[in-house]
């Protein structure tokens, strides 16, 4: 857009300078000369065409952003059609009337289809969208100016020819079909872009807010690695919660075992916080600041009777560590009923994650006092267990069972399920590179990203793109996460999925009694640290029916070795599954794990064993 704007500015300044020069000359014989008028007209026409060609090449780059094969083919066809129109204008290439009408009609259809490709708009933030609208408005100005200039110039030359009684003709803008087609394409795409950006303005703040929520969740998740004390986690929790729900103020009260409670404040004094606490206590209002984890309330009405504060909305959350309430996070707004259910869920997630981070700090202090290395592993194992789901999502359309066993005290394998809506359930399986505590902490980041993004009802490709964007700034050099993300749509009886460098899924089709691996392309998360990642991932889909089955697993399963050093492999995995294909997912899982230990001949495994078996009913 800046390139188009700059080109338009230069050619417009040149044209205006020429107009100024003609004004300084006055109404002399030179201006009434047909040849001079035609020269000026051709200069303006050349400037206009230069601007159109600059816009043409820039619009091409925007249209082909995140290009696909069919889009590239359509653009090539458009280029070829424009070439034929140019030949028709330049060398009077002869076409029959019917053929020429087909070419023009095809050109019009292609202009409309190409103009509908606006994927780049979704990646602009609020400020960039306003800048784009301004630049497009200036493009409209340039187009309007040159349209007026060439049209007016053409009319004046025709009048001069008529007054002189001549029968000559000249190359006017309107007589060139190529120029008209070029103008129509540039104007159409400019109008489409302007309208799409205008209609996308309201969603910009929502997208930025969701991205900020993911970043804030990651800050809390990473605090165990990056911060030096519990106080730093408290401050991160306070700042992240306030920014995510647009609160006007907040405080965090931490209870001490043998000392007075500590209060951390944000845009509120400690005295104001204590006055609100006293007001609630004085009026015997229970279940707000002294609540359990399932009693979070947005009790605006209790502040309405308190005249000593400017706040009219209060939302409170307990801070739990090992099931014990160690403090309370209170958020405030000056407007009544200022908090929504979505805001409650967001801050509740932050609070729970902060509780895990604080728990990790406290356990690490104990580890340093005793056996540092062993205690650190126990901490990470506690975190890992809390990250894997205690209960998998249930649905009448399928039954599901999962298993995970770490090679070390902790591992980097992750699986989870989440209900998106009434007819869609999200599934994920992932494997963090490496082992030990680092892998476990990266696994916690993956969980935060999964729960933050899955609820936005993104298609699997977009989910992976945003997950990669969030992870590239967290993973150290050389680390990556392989994953496969699924959306099971029980209404359409389809599975939509994207594979990011993970093991191929084993899919069993009951109707044909055949099992095969879904080997689709995809690059692991964190390996490509640019927006080009979208070119290395894709959304795939497969239909399912009753009796069909998916077997998700990590590479520890297929790479398990026997005493001879031979791997378990994909073929043996498929054979073992087919042996018990008619049984329940839990029975199939138990059979597979039993066969793995039997094959390896030992209870000590070299890599994490993780499986998730989904059977459709």
Neighbours of 475 (CB within 10 A): 20
Could you give the angle at the alpha carbon of 422 between the alpha carbons of 418 and 425, nearest 5°?
A: 30
Three-class secondary structure assignment of 324-352: EEEEEEEEEECCCCCCCHHHHHHHHHHHH
Q: Which of 16-30, 236-250, 311-325 has the lowest mean pLDDT?
A: 16-30
DSSP string, 44-109: HHHHHHHHHHHHHHHHHHHHTTT--HHHHHHHHHHHHHHHHHHHHHHH-----HHHHHHHHHHHHH
pLDDT for 538-570, tens place per residue? 999 999 999 999 999 999 899 998 888 899 999
Q: How many residues does the chain have?
A: 617
Place of tokens 């398990």: 560
Instruction: Report the alpha-carbon distance of residue 91 to residue 83 in Å, rounded.
Output: 12
Q: What are phi and psi of 353, to 5 degrees?
A: -65, -40
Extract the runs of DSSP E, i.e. beta strands, from 355-480. 398-405, 413-421, 424-432
Neighbours of 52 (CB within 10 A): 23
DSSP category for residue 456: T
| CA-based nearest residue to 170, from 150, 184, 143 | 150
| CA-based nearest residue to 419, from 451, 447, 449, 463 | 451
Neighbours of 266 (CB within 10 A): 18
Neighbours of 354 (CB within 10 A): 28
Instruction: Report the alpha-carbon distance of residue 210 to residue 206 in Å, rounded.
Output: 6
DSSP category for residue 268: S
pLDDT for 20-39, tens place per residue? 888 777 666 766 777 888 88
Position 142 confidence tier, pLDDT thresholds 50, 70, 90: very high
**Is the predicted pLDDT of residue 62 greater than 80, yes or no?**
yes
CB within 8 Å of 592: residues ≥ 6 apart: 557, 573, 576, 577, 611, 613
Token pair in block for residue 36: 């001079």
Q: Give the pLDDT confidence score for residue 289 in this predicted structure.
A: 63
CB within 8 Å of 408: residues ≥ 6 apart: 377, 435, 436
pLDDT for 335-370, tens place per residue? 887 787 777 777 787 777 777 777 777 777 676 666
Q: What average pLDDT does the segment 159-164 reach?
A: 76
């Amino acid at each position: 857009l800046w390139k188009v704007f700059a080109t338009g500015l230069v050619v417009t300044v040149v044209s205006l300078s020429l107009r100024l020069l003609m004004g300084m000359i006055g109404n002399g014989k030179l201006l009434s000369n047909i040849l001079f008028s035609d020269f000026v007209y051709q200069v303006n026409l050349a400037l206009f065409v230069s601007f159109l060609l600059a816009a043409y090449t820039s619009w091409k780059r925007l249209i082909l952003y995140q290009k696909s094969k069919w889009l590239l083919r359509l653009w090539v066809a458009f280029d070829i059609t424009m070439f034929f129109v140019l030949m028709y204008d330049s060398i009077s290439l002869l076409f029959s009337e019917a053929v020429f009408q087909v070419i023009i009609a095809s050109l019009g259809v292609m202009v409309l289809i190409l103009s509908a490709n606006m994927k780049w708009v979704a990646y602009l933030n609020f400020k960039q969208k306003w800048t784009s609208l301004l630049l497009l408005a200036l493009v409209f100005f340039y187009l309007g100016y040159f349209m007026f200039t060439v049209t007016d110039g053409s009319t004046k030359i025709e009048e001069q020819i008529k007054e002189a009684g001549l029968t000559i003709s000249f190359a006017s803008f309107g007589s060139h079909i190529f120029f008209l087609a070029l103008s129509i394409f540039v104007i159409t795409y400019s109008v489409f872009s302007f309208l799409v950006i205008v209609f996308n303005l309201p969603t910009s703040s929502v997208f930025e807010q969701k991205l900020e929520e993911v970043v804030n969740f990651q800050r809390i998740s990473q605090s165990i690695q990056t911060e030096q004390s519990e106080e730093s986690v408290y401050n991160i929790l306070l700042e992240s919660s306030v920014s995510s729900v647009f609160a006007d103020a907040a405080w965090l009260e931490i209870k001490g075992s043998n000392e007075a409670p500590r209060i951390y404040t944000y845009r509120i004094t400690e005295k104001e916080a204590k006055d609100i606490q006293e007001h609630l206590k004085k009026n015997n209002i229970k279940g707000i600041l002294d609540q359990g984890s399932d009693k979070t309330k947005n009790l605006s009405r209790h502040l309405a009777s308190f005249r000593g504060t400017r706040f009219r909305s209060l939302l409170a959350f307990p801070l739990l560590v090992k099931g014990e309430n160690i403090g309370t996070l209170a958020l405030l707004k000056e407007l009544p009923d200022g908090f929504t259910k979505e805001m409650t869920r967001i801050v509740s997630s932050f609070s729970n994650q902060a509780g895990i981070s604080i728990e990790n700090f406290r356990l690490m202090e104990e580890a340093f006092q005793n056996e540092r290395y062993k205690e650190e592993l126990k901490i990470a194992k506690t975190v890992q267990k809390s990250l894997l789901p205690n209960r998998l999502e249930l649905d009448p359309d399928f039954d599901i069972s999962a298993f995970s066993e770490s090679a070390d005290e902790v591992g980097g394998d992750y699986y989870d399920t989440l209900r998106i809506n009434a007819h869609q359930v999200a599934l994920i399986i992932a494997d963090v590179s490496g082992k030990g505590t680092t892998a476990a902490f990266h696994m916690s980041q993956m969980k935060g990203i999964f729960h933050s993004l899955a609820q936005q009802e993104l298609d699997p490709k977009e989910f992976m793109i945003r997950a990669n964007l969030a992870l590239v700034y967290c993973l150290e050099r050389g680390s990556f996460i392989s994953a496969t993300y699924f959306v099971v749509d029980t209404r359409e009886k389809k599975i939509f999925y994207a594979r990011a460098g993970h093991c191929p899924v084993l899919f069993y089709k009951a109707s044909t009694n055949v099992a095969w691996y879904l080997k689709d392309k995809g690059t692991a998360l964190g390996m490509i640290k640019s927006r080009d990642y979208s070119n290395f991932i894709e959304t795939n889909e497969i239909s399912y029916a009753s009796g069909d089955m998916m077997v998700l697993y990590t590479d520890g399963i297929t790479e398990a070795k026997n005493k001879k050093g031979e791997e378990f492999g994909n073929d043996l995995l498929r054979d073992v599954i087919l042996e018990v294909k008619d049984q329940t997912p839990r029975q199939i899982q138990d059979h597979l794990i039993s066969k793995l230990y039997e094959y390896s001949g030992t209870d000590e495994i070299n890599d994490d064993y993780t499986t998730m078996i989904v059977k459709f009913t």
